[in-house]
A = this chain, B = another copy of it.
Amino acid sequence: MADARRLYEKVADDLRAAIAKGDLRSGDSIPSEAELSQQHDVSRQTVRQALQQLTQEGLITGGQGRARTVRTYEPLEWHLSSYESRASHATRDPSGDQWSVDVQDQQRKPQQDVEVSLVKQPPDIVSERLAIAPGTLVVVRRRVRLVDEIPFQLADSYFVEELVRGTLLMEPGDQSAPGGLLASIGHPQVRYRDEIRVRMPLKDEATRLHLAPGTPVAEHIRTGYAEDGTSLRVMITIVPGDRHVMIYELDAS
């Protein structure tokens, strides 16, 4: 099956092959550590090393007390540019934000937990993009977005406080789209710049999103600009790789 010299590689290759070949399908449980240890005549630690590698590759999942299973993926589509074809969707709702619409289009249940606060010292990433001096007051809207009761994204939006003072944006309960709200108070966003980085989650992010080991995330940073080129809003979203496909529709210019 494989000519690996390392024992744990042989065990791992064996299972990888079984998964690729279809002997083990999504959701199936794989042999126990003890079984694999006997079958390959290696110590349990060596088996564990193999299994850890597969876990890190995102192929299997574990859990104390439960048998390990082959991991399943059914990612949600996240549409980041609204191409004309999507404008006709039945569930489109101009007052809600596009994300909720997107989720409902896919027959799943969106939900957002919002928390608003004021900060003087936002992360460097934010102050650079908002082009503000240190000490400028900033409003942060921290959202945990859930789908079918499961945490799906962490989405933090940052605005200069002066701009949104006294508006609904400061209300934690408000569920409307910040983009729409900015427009309604005379600050429409006419251009976006999106930056996407791919990395492993921080410990904190992994906890809050209940990420299985070996689940990478995308860090999606959207900066919204006004007509005159000033930046109005920065939104940083942490997107677990196992639950999302990000989609852009573009016109070739």
Contact = CB atoms under 8 A, between A and B. Distances in A.
12 contacts: A52-B52, A57-B202, A57-B203, A189-B252, A191-B251, A192-B248, A195-B247, A196-B245, A198-B241, A199-B216, A199-B241, A224-B252
Interface string A188-206: 1111111111111111000
A241 B253 contact: no
Interface string A157-201: 000000000000000000000010000000011111111111111
B200 A214 contact: yes
Interface in A237-253: 239-242, 244-253
Contacts of A251: 190-192
Given A198-B198, A199-B216, A193 B247 contact: yes
A246 B222 CA distance: 12
Assembly stoichiometry (copies): 2
Nearest to A77: B195
A245 B199 contact: no
A197 B252 contact: no
Contact of A250 (B191, B197, B217): B191
Interface in A207-236: 213-214, 216-218, 224
Q: 4 closest Cβ contacts across the A-B interface? A: A198-B241, A216-B216, A196-B246, A194-B248
Given A199-B216, A216-B199, A245-B197, A191 B58 contact: no
For A191, A200, A251, the residue with the greatest tally of chain B CB atoms inside 10 Å of its CB is A200
Interface residues of A, number: 47
Nearest to A206: B57
A10 interface: no
Interface in A47-65: 52, 56-58
Given A193-B249, A253-B82, A198 B218 contact: yes
Contacts of A197: 75, 241, 244-246
A244 B198 contact: yes
B249 A248 contact: no
A104 interface: no
B218 A16 contact: no
A181 B199 CA distance: 35
